[in-house]
Structure 1
């Protein structure tokens, strides 16, 4: 079984990226997912701490979470296998490099993926978290 140094990979990511880079990555993944769905939708929800409407603190309240929600095909077995493979070539024809998940970790402490997808056995759900020091928890 291979091992990779996640912190080392994250540290080596090009410094020309910004905190917006993983958000673009997530939206691109959602766009790919809805390519197969008639009437595909993507919602982006920004969550801020201590925001009370009418207080004027909205622009200065810390962002505590970002949800990218789509009604695409879901995080299938093929996607999971690709996710678990460093520099996977699954989306190479679409410009994918196979290390987008590490871009998230350059700017965010941890990431949670929640997905529903179809298989020949019916509807399945997948939920897991990943981070620089988190072990992957598959469901």
Structure 2
């Protein structure tokens, strides 16, 4: 979570959240038809990328959320999410746009699409076309 998310206690509520809302609307979805969660529930100091240790500590919680929601598709927004939930060290620019499978602890196999994080897209607008392809 970023600053706004940390203050409100909800995922994707700041500028990146507004962009995510527009991205979802463009493909006929909204927050009522999607479950949105963070791999780690707190903002790392200095808004840095979470460490592997931090994501491993939080992994059981996000894994349980995924099992309870039982999604048809899992969309990994950004590198930390994709690396954690897809058990890979590959960077998001290599991962994005390619279907993967997330396997839960109970053995559920969920199709997963890694894509670029909305905050990254705000900093690098030229890559919005890549995320658009991923969402389609």
When normalised by structure 2's length, the TM-score is 0.29
Larger Rg: 1
When normalised by structure 1's length, the TM-score is 0.29
- The structure whose residues are more often helix, as a share, is 2
- The structure whose residues are more often strand, as a share, is 1
